[in-house]
Structures are given as C-alpha cells and as structure tokens.
Structure 1
C-alpha cells in the first residue's frame, strides 16, 4: 500500500503500519494476547468477528496460537439471512477457517440459529441475534472490516435504516439490513450489530489492505458522515480502535 498520505495515531485511535506479509500474524498475536488477558481477568473472553474473504488469513493465523480456546466465545459482527449451514453464511466461514486446530474448542454464538430454510423475517432474526449476543457478553476484541464504499459490518451507506443503526442512543444490539441493491456476490438481507453495540467492545481492530481502501480511509479520516459508516467508528472517542495498515 503506497500513498503520500499516512494516517497517524490520535486519541483512542492507534495506527500500526505493518509489512503485508506479516500483518495477519502480528495482528493474530495481538488479539490472542488480549483474549488471554481477558481469560485471566474474567475467566472467559469474547471475540467478535466479521465475515467475508478479508479475515480468512487472519483466522488461519489465529487458530494455531495456544490460548485456552475452551474459554473463548466467538460472536459475529454481522450475518447474512441464510441458514447457518449455507455456503454464504458467515458462521460457516468462521467454523471453516477459525474454529480449527487449537481454536476448535472455541464456542461459536450463532446469529442465525436455523440450519435450514425457511427462515423467520430479518427483523425477527435480528431480535433473536440480539438476545444471543447480549447473553454472550461484552466483546474483548471486535474485528471490523471496511469496504471500498466505506461500509463496515453490514452498515451500508445506502441502507434504508442506517440512521437508526448508527444512532448511539439506539438500545438494540442488532438490526436487520435490507438493501434495495445488495452486493451481487451476496444478495441477501443481513443482520448487523448496531454502532452502539460495536462500540461497546473493549477493543476494536480494523485491518486494511489495498490502495482503494486507503483512499476511502482518507475520506473517513476527516469527519463522521453516514455516507461512510466506518467514519463513525474512526471519529468516536468512546472505544479504543487499532488500525492495522499493510504498507
């Protein structure tokens, strides 16, 4: 990732610039240390993760690190409204790429509990997911991603109910997101943690690769705007955020 612009740490936002070949391993080590500290302090740890292809390499680096995975609960930042056994399910992605090797003993908390269609409405699924996440506890580490359009989790700029999802006074843990024009590679309604729920985490990490995403990040760095939902994470001062940039 090359550019004349390089973000610098500020307030609760820390920037780590790392060689691309080392980023996932170093971030995995950082996450594992935080989970181990949470286990020592509270007897268990909660790791909340995003789906998609971007975190796969991170999951595969994390699953071979030796911590007490039997005391780790894994929750999802967002999920597609498909059965949990569906090939496009984020839960299945986590089971395939994270809950293997040493991490096989981790406990996955499903956002969509059903194993087969038909499913309940997205709104009903979101209510059930809210209960499951609340029962799982506060995330010690929450891993976000960012699209080139500035979306994070399933908080898309064009979502009809984005204002509610970004409202920090919103007491809902999860909301349903139904896009008029969903991504062609995943044309499903979704469930996502609200911004308030995301910011309830003790520590947020955001790994980024690619020049297109750096350009989006530069815009989000300037001010909070619903046009770039990730900016609402970067501009807040409530929760520590660690930005991991490949350079």
Structure 2
C-alpha cells in the first residue's frame, strides 16, 4: 500500500487523475487497451472532470462501474448517469462504457436481483480481464464499492466466484450491484480516495487489520493487489 498526501480535495483530484491517466497509458502501450472501473457518488465528480480532459487514447479505454444502485439510468442517484455526465465527456467521450444493466425488472426481489447479477456477469465476461485499475471510495461506515457492513448479500459479495453480486444496504437506499471482493483483488491496481477527518479516522482504524465489519479493511490488509491511497 502506498499513501499519497494532498493538501486539498482539488489537489487530490488532479494528482489522482494524472496517476490514473499514466496507468491507463501504460496499459494501452503494453496491451493495446485499458480497462478502468470507477465508483459513483458525489466524491469522484472532481476526479472525473479532471480525468476526462487529460491526453489519452480514450478510444482504447473501456470504462466499467465498481457498483451501481438498482435504479433506472435516468434516476438522480444512478452511477451510470453520473459517469456519463461527468466522466464520458470531452476526450473521454470516445471511451467504451459498459454498465451492469440497461433496464430493470418491475420487481427487485431477491430472485430478480439474482437474474440481474447473472446477466451482469455474462456481460462483463465479454470484457478484457483483469481490469487495469479500479477507483474506490469509502464511506464513514467503512464500506467500499457496495460492500456494506452487515448488509444482506455481503457474504456472497465477499466470496463469490463471479465478478458481480447484489447487496441490500441497511443504511443506504436501493439495492446495489457491486464488483465482488475477489474481482476487485484480481484487478492489476486499486486506487482509494479518502477526504476529510472523519473518513481518515475510519481509514486509520481499517488499516490495523482485516475485519468484515469494516469491509475496506479487506482491501487494505491483503498482499495480492497493489493499493494506492490518496488522502486529503
């Protein structure tokens, strides 16, 4: 794990964007393409808007989601909508974007979520694996991606052999689809963004040891995948 200290959230966004662009450029030079997975929410908006204007062969980049709320793509809380609005603009408009789903069933009971997961796993199976980089955030409860502590579906998301699982967070609205912990750890590199004193305190606790009560700790306390942590 490498830590990068930044003086402000704005500095973090630009420095992290530059690092991501360098990683994607290296992947394109080596393999002819790059696969980037990104998280949603409000925190990465500045990062997306910094990244999308950087010089990169975006036509050789595939963008995936780390997680998604089970809402229509035109919903205000859709990560798909967020990525299209804030990342897939300017030069990055040339990237290929692959959401987990196109439409949702009328019901979102467990059986329907199972079917969504199966379809998402088939869709992602057509993409180049492993991913080159996944950009993660963290909540004050220690969740990352949609690996929420004590949520129904968490055990499957931590141990599934497929890249996607569903989770029903008790502390947040909407069922979620998320990349599983094994899929994240199969990525060539992970980048975690931490902003603010409260999240920094959670991060400091999580780095002390792996604990499913703080799912981000499972990312920080492993020796399989390099993790860069960007802190403001």
- TM-score normalised by L of structure 1: 0.88
Q: 5 Å matches for 1:46-65?
A: 46-65=35-54
Q: CA RMSD in A?
A: 1.4
Equivalent residues of 2:157, 2:167 under 8 A apart: no
Aligned equivalent of 1:16? 4
Aligned equivalent of 1:229? 215
Gaps of 5+ in 2: none
Equivalent residues of 1:163, 1:226 under 8 A apart: no
Q: Secondary structure at the match of 1:191?
A: strand
Q: 5 Å matches for 1:71-150?
A: 71-114=60-103, 118=106, 121-137=112-128, 138-150=130-142
- Residues 74-98 of structure 1 show CA distances to partners (whole Å, capped at 9, x for unaligned) of 0001011112232221111000000
2:158 pairs with 163, 166, 182, which one?
166
What is the rounded CA distance, in whole Å, between the counterparts of 1:119 and 1:136 in structure 2?
Answer: 28
Gaps of 5+ in 1: 1-12
- Residues 98-140 of structure 1 show CA distances to partners (whole Å, capped at 9, x for unaligned) of 00011111111011211x6636622211111122222222211
- TM-score normalised by L of structure 2: 0.94
Q: Secondary structure at the match of 2:63?
A: strand
Aligned equivalent of 1:218? 204
Q: Secondary structure at the match of 1:108?
A: strand
Equivalent residues of 1:82, 1:119 under 8 A apart: no
Alignment length, in residue pairs?
Answer: 227
Q: Secondary structure at the match of 1:38?
A: helix
Aligned-pair CA distance for 1:150: 0.1
What is the rounded CA distance, in whole Å, between the counterparts of 1:233 and 1:134 in structure 2?
Answer: 23
